[in-house]
Amino acid sequence: MDLKTTRQGLPWRRTVTTRAAAFACALSLAGCSGVQSALDPAGGDALRIYWLTLIMTLGGTLIFLLVTGVLLYAIFAPPERRAWLGGRRTIVVGGLAFPIVVLSGLLPYGLIVMRDTDVPMPGALQVEVIGEQYWWRVKYPEEGGKSEFSTANELIVPVGSPVTVTVTSADVIHSFWIPNLGGKIDMIPGRINRLSFTAERPGIYRGVCAEFCGDQHARMAFDVVALERTAFEAWRAAQEKPAREPDLPFLSRGRALFRAAGCGSCHVVRGTEADGAFGPDLTHVGSRRTIGAGQFPNNIGTLAGWIANTQHIKPGVRMPSYGSFTGEELRSLAAYLESLK
Amino acid sequence: MNAPERSEAFDERDPALPNPLPRPAGEFEALKKAWEAPRGLSFITAVNNTYVGLWYVGTAFLFFILAGILSLIMRVQLATPESDFVGHDLYNQLFTMHGTVMMFLFAVPAVEAASVYLLPNMQAARDLPFPRLSAYAFWAYFVGGLVFFCTIFFGLAPNGGWFMYPPLTGAKYSPADNADWWLLGIGFIEISAIAGAIEIIVGVMKTRAVGMSLDKMPVYSWAMLVFAAMIVIGFPAIILGTLLLEMERAFDWPFFIAERGGDPLLWQHLFWFFGHPEVYIIFLPATGMVSMIVPAMAQTPLVGYRLVVLALVATGFLSFGLWVHHMFATGLPKMSLSFFSAASTAVAVPSGIQVFAWIATIASGRMKLTTPSLFIIGFLFIFTLGGLTGVMVAMAPFDWQAHDSYFVVAHLHYVLIGGMVFPLFAAFYYWVPVASKYALSERVGRWVFGLMFVGVNVTFLPMHITGLIGMPRRVYTYPVGMGWDALNLVSTIGSFMIAAGVALFIVDFARRFRIARDENAGNVWNASTLEWLPNANYNTRSIPIVASRDPLWDQPKLSQDVQDGRYYLPGTATGGRETLVTSPFDARPQYILQVPGPGWQPLLAALFTAAFFLLLTVKMVLLSATCGVLAVFCVIWWLWETDPGPVRPPADIGGGIAVPVYATGSMNHSWWAMIVLMVVTGMVFTCLIFSYLFLWLVNPAAWPPQGTLLPEGFSPFVSCTLYVVGAALIAYASRTLRGEDRRSPRAVPVLIAAALLCVGGAAAMDLWAHWRTGLSPSAHAYGAAVYAIVSLQIFFVLTTLIMGLYTIARWLAGRLDSVRRTTFDNMMLFWFYTTGQGLVALAVVYGFPRLTGGV
């Protein structure tokens, strides 16, 4: 998956106005594009909210300048020229009529945006995401003959197709937020919420937990990868398969260590006896872009570092540090995990 | 006098002042003596508003500085990505404490404290109606607040965010004491805020200058009235919330645990039903201050007085209909989001009215650019921006992006710093000459303003963008390469500019502020309201007659005449401290309230109350219970000296008006306080019933859960009958306690005792009935909710018990009779309340599950 985040405007609706908006945005807000930015929309919902943001920012700025201007005029203009301001009419016009008119215009627009945003679409891809301290359990349920599988800390979606994410929490309240694709939705224990969106351009985006959830709330992120349909189907087919058998003695040694250290009591590796449901499913951990809930790029080095120093890297997570491995053991264990593509 | 033209001047209309000159010898001396502050170390037993008000303001400002320092530490941590300056554990405590301390220990106490000092002055009352209650509220807050703050030095500070969402703050995910410090510490400081609110309501309604009818009341009094009413309505929700969460933590009653029928969202509803009005609770008093300062600076009356008052009241009402806008992302149906979205935008209208009223006032006068003016202009600038971003987040779809991001951090700081801190600094510069011998420096003030104004904008303006480009709030660090680095660094630089401004203010304050007990700096701004009359501990020498909203402009000789003692009550009628009680609408003199003087009781009661809660937090139950008993004892000791009765016949206060020195019934100030207290308790109970019904909605199929045995029908009837009989006995005792013979009937204590047995029996019967069915409070939210209602009722019955025994003791000691019966009246009011609450509780607990299909 060698996708780069695309930084140009939205390909499917490159009108003059979006270009002008993008230009204005680039001028005023340096760096508003990004993998985790509400100002760089990559889907219809995010775009609608983006327009709402722009219009309100513009209108708000105008009103702000107007009020400040009137205030400064009231202070500094010569008394005879500002006298007309000094009566009840000012209050009724400026404080009562003006806000009522403006808000009566804004509110219906806001409500229409709300109606059109986060709408469940028929045939949407269903994904379940469960927030846990401090990572994301992601389940793709059985669908049209394709079997269910679990992954963690990444959401792979097909470009241009609607997605409905069903969220809840296994412990405390989290909030699921992918700024480039739309708003956020809270993950509340005992309640099931849904968020629908469509990624309209391929790319890699970043989601985060937006509701404070404890020690490592700051380190609870995930990747969202929007793939073309065929690439998505290929990924899905690969994920459905059980874990790859190690084909080198070095990797077999890694698997033996995995078993001996009891990793399987918390982690699932489908196709092996590791069936712990507590931590992330590691069946295809090697295929993920990052580890530690969006914290580090995924490679043998970071995997080994993570296993040995979990509590140092992300103090407070449920997984203990496994500091007793020798360097060679760590390397083979990490290599085994990395091989689980 | 360069104030613009007035309607007819007062003394042309009515030249005869109530009291002639010269005043009798010794009159003024007696007044001064009655109000003399205790000397030496026992000055801490002072209770009158000039002392307690200043301590209170000072303590609130101390917490502003402390919480500000916490924020500087956070800003250093966030200045660079992946910083190691403080760890996650300390950081999480820092932001929780910053929010909690700023909201609960600075903002609300600060505005309440300012009014303890200012209100009596502004209304020409000699003191607040319950000075010992203000002293109690202050000391409880002082001790409790400082101990609470110190937890940060031991790593024990709460770390779940200032809105303490369970389940994160429940026993499972926060097993340590940190969360208990928040629940007990803050819960108890809220009680202090409620005590202050009751004081303010009665103070505004009952102790005003003669003739200061509601339409002549200073806007500040109106603002404080709305403020106090909002506390009375809003704070019970959070008190109940903390109570439920603490019961869940301590006894495992699952109100918020989803697996056992609870719901985390219940907390959010309770919290934000308080939490959103809280913002306006902080903001309205500040606007009241602005409405006082602007006319003085522009030297012209406020334009649109009625509209401003209307806006204050409207804000108060609307603010209770918006709480769900803090929950736009919780997955509520779009229908309810639309309603709360509309209500949230609507609240912009009354704020707009106030802003344009000030602009109109400025335009109609000539604004002098003094330091208070600069802070007002800064306030208008910052608050307008914060209000506009407020309209943005009121749009639910935008909020789905902005919520819990740095955009919201920016918005709330614009609103709160703009809406409250800047007016407060304007107020410091404006009112210091009332309390101090010297005004603060205008030259330094400009620098203070400049640093703070630029600092606030440099800190918080960039945060709007930081949030929209994805930075969530409450993160102790952030990765490199997100585009947040530069913006965060700018914010950190700005925060130190604010700190420099505040530091400069402190230096200036230390140099110039000298407490004035009788020779203050005087009316340096040529302001129009009564706090600028010559004043001392007794406030004004005589109580003026007010004929307009700007008495000092319209009655040019007022200051001199008041000081000469030519108005009402120029001395003391009973030889002790007094203030004049006036009728609530048109402020006619009603009676002389004998105000209690200095004493150790409120101080000791506050210390023991604080000790009770703080020791409970660290689970020293026995010691805590001892302190609780001692606190109750101190309160009884304090009350014993109150309710003095008619110590002399009605006294002449001048102008041929003779008023009694004692009153009972609905004229009495404590009757009003009792009514307000009943509103508070009624709100607590209403919130509990709401919680019960909310949990039912969460568990419609399990209410009660399968296999729960409901108590038999006869027990509620017995309880019900006992409650009614008890109340009837008290009503009968009240009817007979009106005879000519002041000590008749002899049976009063017997009647009270019999009624106590009834009400105690009713509660015991109720508890026993549930216990017998084997209902467990910890198995399911149903049991927890039932026992919560029963427990609250038992608490009220126990309080009634103490009040009943106290009333009997008063009778036996000869301090209660058919004339001197305020104690009895108050007990009776509380009794009827307890009875009513008990009956509703029975109806809900026994009736509702039968309606919903229980067996």
Q: Inter-chain contact B360–A87, Cβ cutoff 8 Å?
A: yes
How far the first Cα of chain B sits from its last, in Å, is: 79
- Cα distance between residue B105 and residue B99, in whole Å: 10
- Cα distance between residue B544 and residue A254, in whole Å: 91
A185: closest CA of chain B, how far (Å)? 5
Residues of chain B with Cβ-Cβ distance to A70 below 8 Å are 359
A174-177 and A203-209 beta bridge pairing: antiparallel
Of B262, B303, B365, the CB nearest to A91: B303
For chain B, give every residue range classified as CATH 1.20.210.10.
40-512
What string of DSSP letters covers A263-309? GGGT-B-TTSS-B--SS---TTGGG-SEETTTTEE-SHHHHHHHHHH
Q: Any long-range contacts for B244-249 (C-beta under 8 Å, 24+ apart)?
A: B244/B270, B244/B691, B244/B788, B245/B164, B245/B166, B245/B169, B245/B170, B245/B179, B245/B183, B246/B180, B246/B183, B246/B184, B246/B187, B247/B784, B247/B788, B248/B166, B248/B170, B248/B171, B248/B784, B249/B170, B249/B171, B249/B179, B249/B180, B249/B183
* Three-class secondary structure of residue A128 per DSSP: strand
Bridge partners of residue A137, in order along the sequence: A130, A152
B497-514 confidence digits (pLDDT tens) = 999 999 999 999 999 999
Residues of chain A with Cβ-Cβ distance to B258 below 8 Å are 188-191
Q: Inter-chain contact A57–B392, Cβ cutoff 8 Å?
A: yes
pLDDT value of residue B744: 67
B528-579 confidence digits (pLDDT tens) = 999 999 989 999 999 999 999 999 999 999 999 999 999 999 999 999 999 9
Reading the block at residue B104, the tokens are: 């609960």
Residue B423 has pLDDT above 50, yes or no: yes
Among chain B residues, the shortest Cα distance to A206 is held by: B470
Among chain A residues, the shortest Cα distance to B473 is held by: A210
pLDDT band at B653 (very low <50, low <70, confident <90, very high): very high
Cβ-based neighbour number of residue B223 at 10 Å: 29
A56-104 confidence digits (pLDDT tens) = 999 999 999 999 999 999 999 999 999 999 999 999 999 999 999 999 9
- Cα distance between residue A263 and residue A268, in whole Å: 9
B588: closest CA of chain A, how far (Å)? 31
User: Is B238 within 8 Å of B688 (Cβ atoms)?
Assistant: no
- Label residue A76 exposed, middle or buried (CB < 10 Å: 0-12, 13-18, 19+): exposed
Fold of B690-851: Four Helix Bundle (Hemerythrin (Met), subunit A) (1.20.120)
Alpha-carbon torsion (B818, B819, B820, B821), positive or negative? positive
Residues of chain A with Cβ-Cβ distance to B468 below 8 Å are 29, 32, 37-39, 53, 179
In sequence order, the 6+-apart residues with CB closer than 8 A to the CB of A334 are A254, A300, A301, A303, A304, A307
Residues of chain A with Cβ-Cβ distance to B97 below 8 Å are none
Closest Cα to residue B548, out of B572, B533, B527, B529?
B529
- Cα distance between residue B180 and residue B199, in whole Å: 29
Among chain A residues, the shortest Cα distance to B401 is held by: A183
Tell me which of B391, B408, B463, B464 to substitute to probe the interface with A (most A C-beta atoms closer than 10 Å). B391
Residues of chain A with Cβ-Cβ distance to B298 below 8 Å are none
Bridge partners of residue A126, in order along the sequence: A164
ipTM of the complex: 0.92
B479: closest CA of chain A, how far (Å)? 8
Q: Which residues of chain A have pLDDT under 70?
A: 1-32
Pick left, alpha or beta for residue A224 (phi over 0 → left; psi -120 to 50 → alpha; otherwise beta). Answer: beta
pLDDT value of residue B595: 94
A136: closest CA of chain B, how far (Å)? 17
pLDDT value of residue B603: 96
Residues of chain B with Cβ-Cβ distance to A186 below 8 Å are 329-331
Residues of chain A with Cβ-Cβ distance to B476 below 8 Å are 218
> Which residue type sits at A142?
E
Average pLDDT over residues B691-720: 91
Is the peptide bond prior to B56 cis by the omega test (within 30 degrees of 0)? no
Residue B179 has pLDDT above 70, yes or no: yes
A296: closest CA of chain B, how far (Å)? 10
- Cα distance between residue A54 and residue A33, in whole Å: 14
pLDDT value of residue A20: 47
pLDDT band at B349 (very low <50, low <70, confident <90, very high): very high
Cα–Cα distances (Å) from B849 to B717, B775, B852, in that order, read 16, 13, 5
B803-838 confidence digits (pLDDT tens) = 999 999 999 999 998 899 999 999 999 999 999 999
- Cα distance between residue A336 and residue A341, in whole Å: 10
pLDDT value of residue A8: 40
User: Is A309 within 8 Å of A302 (Cβ atoms)?
Assistant: no
* φ/ψ of residue B513, rounded to 5: -80, 120
- Label residue A229 exposed, middle or buried (CB < 10 Å: 0-12, 13-18, 19+): exposed
pLDDT value of residue A27: 43
Of A34, A57, A74, the CB nearest to B363: A74
Residues of chain B with Cβ-Cβ distance to A217 below 8 Å are 474-475
Residue B9 has pLDDT above 60, yes or no: no
* Three-class secondary structure of residue A224 per DSSP: strand
In sequence order, the 6+-apart residues with CB closer than 8 A to the CB of B316 are B226, B229, B230, B277, B280, B284
Average pLDDT over residues B416-444: 96
A77: closest CA of chain B, how far (Å)? 9
Q: Inter-chain contact B397–A183, Cβ cutoff 8 Å?
A: yes
Q: Any long-range contacts for A255-260 (C-beta under 8 Å, 24+ apart)?
A: A255/A336, A257/A325, A257/A329, A257/A332, A257/A333, A257/A336, A258/A333, A258/A336, A258/A337
How far the first Cα of chain A sits from its last, in Å, is: 12
Among chain B residues, the shortest Cα distance to A195 is held by: B331
- Label residue B181 exposed, middle or buried (CB < 10 Å: 0-12, 13-18, 19+): buried
pLDDT value of residue A32: 60
Of A84, A185, A214, the CB nearest to B331: A185
Q: Inter-chain contact A210–B403, Cβ cutoff 8 Å?
A: yes
Average pLDDT over residues B432-457: 96
- Cα distance between residue B816 and residue A335, in whole Å: 88
For chain B, give every residue range classified as CATH 1.20.120.80.
690-851
B550: closest CA of chain A, how far (Å)? 18
Residues of chain B with Cβ-Cβ distance to A74 below 8 Å are 359-360, 362-363, 367
Residue B430 has pLDDT above 90, yes or no: yes
User: Is A74 within 8 Å of B363 (Cβ atoms)?
Assistant: yes
Domains belonging to chain A, first-starting first, are 11-116 (no CATH), 125-240 (2.60.40.420), 249-339 (2.60.40.420)
Q: Inter-chain contact B399–A75, Cβ cutoff 8 Å?
A: no
Residues of chain B with Cβ-Cβ distance to A315 below 8 Å are 87-89
Place of tokens 């101990």: B147
B74-99 confidence digits (pLDDT tens) = 999 999 999 999 999 999 999 999 99
Residues of chain A with Cβ-Cβ distance to B475 below 8 Å are 217-218
Among chain A residues, the shortest Cα distance to B93 is held by: A215
> Which CATH architecture describes the domain B40-512?
Up-down Bundle (1.20)
pLDDT value of residue B740: 73
Say what percent of chain B tops pLDDT 90. Answer: 89
B220-276 confidence digits (pLDDT tens) = 999 999 999 999 999 999 999 999 999 999 999 999 999 999 999 999 999 999 999
Of A90, A95, A172, the CB nearest to B173: A172
- Cα distance between residue B464 and residue B402, in whole Å: 9
